[in-house]
Structure 1
Amino acid sequence: MLASFIKSLLYLFSLLSLPNAHRLGSWIGWWLAVTPNQARRISKINIGLCFPNLSATDQQQLLEHSLIESAKAVTETGALWRWDAGRVLALVRRVSGEAYYREANAHGKGVIIIAPHLGAWEMVGLYCAAQYPMVSLYRPPRLKALETMICHARQRSGAKLVPTNAYGVKTLFRTLAAGKQVGILPDQDAREDGGIFAPFFGVPASTMVLLSRLAAKTGATLLFCYAERLPNGEGYYMHFVPAPAGIDDSNLEHATTQLNLGVEQCVRQHPEQYQWSYKRFRSRPPGETRLYGRS
């Protein structure tokens, strides 16, 4: 029943123009900012952890703006998942760092597109896959009834999705060895079996090591990419940013620290568009208490 409700909601969102979808998101985000709810609670904790030097007033302002942007991320999904791929790609108004992107793909050693949960991250895969062959790693949804819809939505501009298992990892290595591009979300909690703790905004965060191992073994070029959400539903501004040196280091503590530094540098450009409502610090080093309470 929940899956059917989500599908129906996304269909209704897809009937809206992007300006109206973002307008609706602004209203929902305002409501989230003034009422007790999980998104506000988690966002407030994360912002307090990551920006301890901001005044209480500035933290509150960032919280309110981030909830509005998070709500826009939901309401725009109808368009990004259901509109014709060409119509979606036409929403990209500007591209920064495109020369880095073209040069990386011409290099012949593969490209790892590192896409944080910043701005319209769904747009990153759609845009990049429309430019060059692409394989993206994804974590299958908890609601299995949504998997077919999600895979179709994310693959319709040419991408191939592979799950976070042994098959998926092998496919990523083969794709890079063939000189093609792969896409990875770098800022999910890696849990106990897939990561180590590295600082993110100065806070230990369970961080994936797969990306660093891919880079070290293949010599692929690393680029951060995010789709800045433009005001008034005008569309998106794609940013390609060279990654900090050291992500491919054999010392995984250093490598993951540099990976998180790259994410942090992107987030600082548009902190209100980051997904602060995600429990990025769910896993804790041994002996540390939970930051979000029972979760």
Structure 2
Amino acid sequence: MAKTRYPKSYAHPRYWPTWFTIGAMHIMAWLPTPWRTRLGRALGWLAWHLAKRRRHITETNIRLAFPDLSSKAQQELAYESFIQNGISLPETAVAWCRDIQFLRTKTTFKGLEHVDKALQEGRGALLMGAHYAVLDLSAALVNLERTVDSTYRPHDNPLFNDFMMKGRARSLEEALDKNNLRRVLTRLKQNKLVWYAPDQDYGRKVSVFAPFFGQSAASIKMTARIAKMTGTACIPLRVHRKPDNEHYEIEFYPPLSDFPSGDEIADARRVNAALELMIEQAPAQYMWMHRRFKTRPEGEASVY
């Protein structure tokens, strides 16, 4: 598929919808929290009814990951996942458009001693997060207590990418292109904290198959490779919105011990097990709408 070509001038009509989106995000960011929550719930409800493809993917993922739930409970979880991810849209606007120090008193931290120990040892830490609903806000909230870098995927639209990068610069020491492995390694060797999400399916070439919620899932090998190349600590990181939708909880788990082991499949199992443990704390706050199980073992048909 050919890459979309964008005009050089941001005044071009091609960018007018992007400017509208940026303006809307600035407005959302300054709404009172209850209004942001109501707006986010409405956006989630709208997506549930309009985004048929994403809804199908979400329903399929939840059916596969939670086979012991009744059909009704699976449907309720799928719907609530859309609602929780809808709430994340105004939260992203907050992360990119405001100084989030106002959230300091609304954020609880657990396990900071694991991060501090890694920093004291001088080996930095790979903060193994996931695609939680509280996504772009995650690294910004961590930065309230400890300076952090975060990996990201550049946006194809250059205007929106500039807006996104300026917003992330508010709370990150450095935003790292996920494709620039050399820079990620450099930052870890400089004893930095790097937020990183190893929970998506990037295809057969860079993955091994390991269980994820009971399913054989293509799981990237890069986490273990980064640990091997840098000697860094791999610390699971959980960031969840509390039930009142106003407060947040951040928990750093003990770093994976004896990791990497040299066995790529065993290491992928360890990473996936850590992710499962965290996601299960608030399963509706996970982005079940991405095709986590799209790459299948040889001979297996698509589940979607």
Report the TM-score, using the length of structure 1 for normalisation: 0.89
Q: Distance in 1 between matches of 2:216 and 2:259?
A: 17
Q: Distance in 1 between matches of 2:261 and 2:90?
A: 39
Match of 1:61 among 76, 79, 103: 76
Contact 1:247 1:256 survives alignment (8 Å): no
Letter in 2 for 1:45: T
Alignment of 1:1-295 (within 5 A): 1=15, 2-33=17-48, 37-87=52-102, 89-90=103-104, 92-165=106-179, 168-245=180-257, 247-292=259-304
Contact 1:22 1:72 survives alignment (8 Å): yes
SS in 2 for 1:254: helix
Q: Deviations over 1:149-179 (max 9, x none)?
A: 11222221232122233xx211222222222
Number of residue pairs the alignment of both structures matches: 289
Q: Distance in 2 between matches of 1:101 and 1:257?
A: 23
Quickly say closer, same or farther: Cα 1:128–1:35, change in 2 above 3 A.
closer
Percent identity over the alignment is 27
Q: CA deviation at 1:119?
A: 3.8
Letter in 1 for 2:76: Q
Q: CA deviation at 1:82?
A: 0.7
Q: Distance in 2 between matches of 1:61 and 1:227?
A: 22
Q: Distance in 1 between matches of 2:184 and 2:139?
A: 15
Q: Distance in 1 between matches of 2:214 and 2:204?
A: 20
Q: CA deviation at 1:52?
A: 0.9
Q: Distance in 1 between matches of 2:50 and 2:174?
A: 40
Quickly say closer, same or farther: Cα 1:54–1:248, change in 2 above 3 A.
same
Considering only aligned residues, what root-mean-square deviation do their CA atoms show, in Å?
Answer: 2.2
Letter in 2 for 1:44: E
Deviates more, 1:49-58 or 1:217-226: 217-226
Q: Return the index of the structure with the highest Cα Rg.
A: 2
Quickly say closer, same or farther: Cα 1:173–1:233, change in 2 above 3 A.
same
Deviates more, 1:190-199 or 1:144-153: 190-199
Quickly say closer, same or farther: Cα 1:244–1:281, change in 2 above 3 A.
same
Q: Distance in 2 between matches of 1:164 and 1:112?
A: 13
Q: Deviations over 1:7-36 (max 9, x none)?
A: 233223223122211122223323444566
Q: Distance in 1 between matches of 2:52 and 2:105?
A: 32
Deviates more, 1:241-250 or 1:196-205: 241-250
Q: Distance in 2 between matches of 1:104 and 1:262?
A: 18
Quickly say closer, same or farther: Cα 1:226–1:92, change in 2 above 3 A.
farther
Unmatched tracts of structure 1, length 5 or more: none
SS in 1 for 2:252: strand
Q: Distance in 1 between matches of 2:244 and 2:77?
A: 19
